[in-house]
Structure 1
Amino acid sequence: MRNSLTAPSRVRLALLALSAAAALALSGCASTPGTGDSAAPGSSPAASQPAASGACTYTADGRPAAKKVTAPPADPTATGQVPVTISTSAGDLAVTLDADSAPCTVGSFLSLAKQAYFDGTNCHRLTTQGIFVLQCGDPTGTGTGGPGYSFPDELKGTETYPAGTLAMANAGPDTNGSQFFVVYADTQLPPSYTVFGHLDAASTQIVAGIAAEGTDNGQPDGKPKTPVTIKEIIQG
């Protein structure tokens, strides 16, 4: 699913039209792979409050899962700050997930990680102008793959995206799936993307180093020039 960080061609056109400070939609194939639908740049959606215990809703989206997985339980089990290591070909990324502010998002992420959904997948998108993110989480590597289900946003409406932010890509409101992005330099975006964790400073620098090598097409939006493969995601 291409989320607001969505189709590269669309983003490149937006970059030509907007200044570097302008907000660009981060599209990800959350629950509608390949549609290219995305929230309008600069839009500020109504805040979505974190779900209460037992209130998480993971809905089948009618599309084949990029990898066969079962949906997470409706009742999230993780609470507080959850340490996770995203082991990649570029190095280990130390992440802290915020299960209190985004319980359903963290529940889905951990469930997919435990089912090895992310293992062996390549981060398929890097942007180096206007917005500064590395996008991952699609086993197909095309930006159109998802887990076969979607779930609602968990937004306060005041989200910001400084360097080190871990957030969900989407194809519009309430279309989260498996794709996520790492912000490696402060980025201006509308509060449309659920923030569910943060990388430490050293890990953020690893991603910034990947970005410094540029994209495979030499453009500000493309696949990383040096492929980045997620080996596994380990909780604890």
Structure 2
Amino acid sequence: MLALAGCVSRTGGPVAESSSPATETETSTSGTDETVVDDDGCEFVGKPDEDAPVGLPPTEPLGGDRVLLSTSSGEIGLQLTPDETPCTVRSFLHLVSEGFFDGTECHRLTASAGLKVLQCGDPSGDGTGGPGYTIPDELPTDLADAPTGQGTKVYPRGVLAMANAGPETGGSQFFMVYGDSTLPPDYTVFGGVDGTGLATLDAIAARGLTPTLGPEDGTPTTPVEIESAATA
């Protein structure tokens, strides 16, 4: 779900729907048209045409700012930023607490000069899935300008960000940057990857990818499954 222009597509991250790191386009039934506004003023909007298997996030904070992803390729520790991005972190912790990410595959790996990310968080495994609701954007304002200009920014190595399919469409798909990447400032940065996690990402990237969206954009050659996600 990275929807970066020319990087991810589908839903969830820095890629245009089909070539940016995050785009998503969930489709299902039995959804909800409910809207929840929490204590931080975060508005979570249910999608009536999609399943919401875990419901909308609670109105009270769940607490915690660290999550450990135990994957088939090793552990990835995530440090979250609840003070800077309360809505995104609230939703992410809600999904973690409900076991939403457990048993899901990281469906996208990119390896171009300007985009090096691993994208995860889609229960469908193909870049079209999500939690059945959307979360508000909390876009970064402090990223450095990219050398290429044109309004793009540098998402540095170690960044954790949300994928999306356009404004206010984020859900569950997220991407982790293992090498400095150039993207529009359209993706919420809600934390970072720790040193051990970066080593795991490097190992995943080193094993290569199977091209599906382009010569340097596809699926990890060795499947990467999030076996469990838990607060740490």
Q: TM-score, normalised by structure 2?
A: 0.80
Q: 1:33 — aligned with what?
A: 26
Deviations 1:5-46 (A, max 9, x none): 20589655xxxxxxxxxxxx43321xx437xxxxxxxxxxxx
> Structure 1 residue aligned with 2:206, among 188, 204, 212?
212
User: Partners in 2 of 1:233 and 1:10 — Cα distance?
Assistant: 26
Gaps of at least 5 residues in structure 2 are: 28-36, 144-153
- Per the alignment, residue 46 of structure 1 pairs with none
Q: Which runs of 5+ in 1 are unaligned?
A: 13-24, 35-50
Q: Hey, which bits of structure 1, 4+ residues long, moved more than 6 A?
A: none
- Counterpart contact for 2:2–2:17, Cα < 8 Å: no
- In the alignment of these two chains, the number of paired residues is 203
The one-letter amino acid of 1:33's match is E
Root-mean-square deviation (Å): 2.3
Name the structure with the higher strand share: 2
CA deviation digits over 1:34-65, x for unaligned, max 9? 7xxxxxxxxxxxxxxxx994311110122323
Task: Map residues 144-155 of structure 1 onto 2, 5 A cutoff.
Answer: 144-155=128-139
Question: How far apart are 1:89 and its partner, in Å?
Answer: 0.5
- d(CA) in 2 for partners of 1:2 and 1:207? 17
Distance 1:144 1:11 in 2: 11
Identity %: 45
SS of equivalent residue, structure 2 residue 141: coil
On the 8 A contact 1:113/1:233 being kept in 2, the answer is: yes
C-alpha contact 1:131 1:188 (8 A) present in aligned 2? yes
Give the secondary-structure state (helix, strand or coil) at the position aligned to 2:183. coil
Counterpart amino acid of residue 70 in structure 2 = S
Please show how residues 1-236 of structure 1 align to structure 2 within 5 Å. Answer: 3-4=3-4, 5-6=8-9, 25-29=20-24, 32-33=25-26, 53-65=39-51, 68-78=53-63, 82-129=65-112, 130-159=114-143, 160-217=154-211, 219-236=215-232
The answer as to whether partners of 1:56 and 1:76 remain within 8 angstroms in 2 is: no
Comparing both chains, which one has the higher relative contact order based on Cα–Cα distances under 8 Å and sequence gaps of 6 or more? 1
Amino acid at match of 1:63: D
Listed one character per residue, the Cα deviations across residues 197-218 of structure 1 (whole Å, up to 9, x for unaligned) are 1111221121121111111248
